[in-house]
Amino acid sequence: MAAERVRIVALQVVSVGVLLVAWEVVARAGWVDALFVPAPSAVAGAFGRIARSALAGLGDTLLKTAVAYVLSVVFGVAFGVAIGSVRALREVLSPFVVAVYGMPKILVLPWIVLILGFGTAPAIVYGTIHGFFPILVLVMGGVRDVDRTLVTVARAFGASTWQLYWKVLLPAIVPTVLAGMRLGVVFCLLGVLIVEMFAGVRGMGHVMGSLANGFQAPELFAATALVSAASIAIVLALDVLNDRLSHWRG
Amino acid sequence: MRVPALRAAILVLFLLAWEGVARTANPLLYVPPSAVLPAFGRLLALESYPDLVPSLLLTLREILVAYALAIAAGLGCGFALGLNRTIGRAYGPILAALYAVPAVVWYPSLMLFFGLDAASKIAFGFLLGFFPITLAVLAGIRQVSPHMLVVARAFGARPLVIFVKVMVPAMLFTLVGGLRTGLALSVIGVIVGEILGSRSGMGALINHAYGLFRTSDYVALVLVTLVLIVGSDALASLVERRAQRWTD
């Protein structure tokens, strides 16, 4: 098992290495236009040049994402529990939820920008909308699928409605909420970046958009790598948290 | 009986409230529903945007090309990763990590490389559609029972026969689900690409209406685009149901 693990990691490292070397060779040999596909070495060099503006932009983006994320988790869980646990609400509202969830949010983006203007507010609103619906839908499903026996037994032992929610329902949907949180963060970041690209004055999306418009390919690739690394790190961190928490839950 | 009535009531109330708020606040910005209908009529009569049909066709063509490429590459990569254990364990996690990156970060690079025209939209639609298809193939392959493969092999089935008669039917449902998600995401990818920057297609029209503050035309264009999106998904769900019946 350990030997296989080593072999797999070796294969991963070697293939990424081969890819980078091949890319470098192709770019240096001039088989592709360096204006559009810069060599990895040029991209590495660009990191230094963009570091300050990109890190500031990334910080700005992540801050907006964090606000949007907190809002979408709070609203998503609250509405999900409310709609999911009250049967009448669920039956009446679920087609609307599904319809809005399925609708590509990009279509309302110009409208949001018209109403809220450029800058931070539309990014937070759009990021929240992006994160809210997947969490809402997951939590609604999670609440619906809570074991009826648990609820019946709690009722039979005289649990109040408050206790039913706090002691039975919420602990039962923890895994669903965690799954929603893991899914939601990528959506929030996506939403914020889209707004920044569409109508940003700051933030990573705006930085990347300007780099693309200025044909600064090495800097653009470096910025792209930076955002990708940040989002992979966030998702991995949430995964670790998820593992810890599910361990604690037993 | 009561539930559909309540749903209809909510919808009507919502539209009425919107109408009221929009009229009192700012009809230009909040576009009351009553202003959308005439705008929709003008759009369909090709008065407000005479090049509606070519734009729609261009967007449709971009979607089709992007989706076809996503299917080809997704199936190829999925089976390559799923059928070979070492390759799957080496590249699967890399793929999953890349899937965790919000896809729009690639769009500026694609736009730089492919330009402002259809190619960058196709590339982005392809990228978005590719991942769910690949992941569905991987999930589907894991669903195929090893016993069935052993039995098929014991009865002397050749690899191709095993693939067609055992594996594909066993994973069909998951696969078709992934293909449907892939279509939805390819559609979104193309439209996001068009709205983030294009010279033609539905996204360009939407941006034009938005830029000129022609808000009711903007809403009408969004409705037409929605019909395209909902229509493509309805088609996909039809195919999905067919496949479901066939597997049962």
Q: Map A127-178 to HEC letters.
A: HHHHHHHHHHHHHHHHHHCCCHHHHHHHHHCCCCHHHHHHHHHHHHCHHHHH
Q: For residue range A174-223, what is the model confidence (pLDDT) as tens digits?
A: 888 988 998 899 999 999 999 999 987 888 999 999 998 888 899 999 99
In whole angstroms, what is the distance from residue B211 CA to residue A114 CA? 9
Q: CB distance A8–B97 less than 8 Å?
A: no
Host H or E run for residue B227: helix B215-247
pLDDT less than 50: residues of chain A: 250
- Our CA-based measurement puts residue A157 at a distance from the nearest CA of chain B, in whole angstroms, of 32
A106 contacts on B by Cβ (under 8 Å): 188, 191-192, 195
- Our CA-based measurement puts residue A228 at a distance from the nearest CA of chain B, in whole angstroms, of 5
Given CB atoms, is A228 within the 8 Å cutoff of chain B? Answer: yes
Instruction: Provide Rg for chain A, Cα atoms.
Output: 23
A37 contacts on B by Cβ (under 8 Å): 113
A104 contacts on B by Cβ (under 8 Å): 187-188, 191-192, 229
Q: CB distance A92–B7 less than 8 Å?
A: yes
In whole angstroms, what is the distance from residue B159 CA to residue B153 CA? 8
Q: What's CA B248's distance to the chain center, in Å?
A: 27
Identify which of B10, B86, B184 has the shortest CB distance to residue A8.
B86
pLDDT of residue A158: 87
Instruction: Report ipTM for this prediction.
Output: 0.87
Question: How many Cα atoms are found within 13 Å in the side-chain-facing hemisphere of B135?
Answer: 19
Given CB atoms, is B117 within the 8 Å cutoff of chain A? Answer: no
B22's CB contacts (< 8 A; 6+ apart) are B30, B31, B32
The one-digit pLDDT tens for each residue of chain B (248 residues) are 688 888 999 999 999 999 999 888 888 888 888 888 999 999 999 988 999 999 999 999 999 999 999 999 999 999 999 888 888 888 888 888 888 899 999 999 999 889 888 999 999 999 999 999 999 999 899 888 888 888 988 998 888 888 888 888 888 888 999 999 999 999 999 999 999 988 899 999 999 998 898 999 999 999 999 999 999 989 999 988 888 887 76
Task: For chain A, positions 116-175, list CB contacts with chain B under 8 A.
Answer: none
Q: CB distance A36–B112 less than 8 Å?
A: yes
Cα–Cα separations (whole angstroms), residue A109 to A29, A103, A116, B31, B36: 43, 12, 10, 15, 18
pLDDT of residue A141: 92
B129 contacts on A by Cβ (under 8 Å): none
Domain ranges of chain A: 43-249
Given CB atoms, is A193 within the 8 Å cutoff of chain B? Answer: yes
Q: CB distance B210–A111 less than 8 Å?
A: yes
pLDDT of residue B167: 87
* Count of residues making up chain A: 250
Closest CA to A205 of A104, A56, A57: A57
Please report where in the chains the tokens 């801050």 appear, as a residue.
Answer: A63
CATH value of A43-249 in 3.40.50.2000, 1.10.3720.10, 1.50.10.10, 2.40.30.10: 1.10.3720.10
In whole angstroms, what is the distance from residue A150 CA to residue B159 CA? 49
In whole angstroms, what is the distance from residue A26 CA to residue B200 CA? 33
In whole angstroms, what is the distance from residue B148 CA to residue B159 CA? 13
CB atoms within 10 A of CB B160: 8
| Eight-state DSSP code of residue B105 | G
pLDDT of residue A161: 87
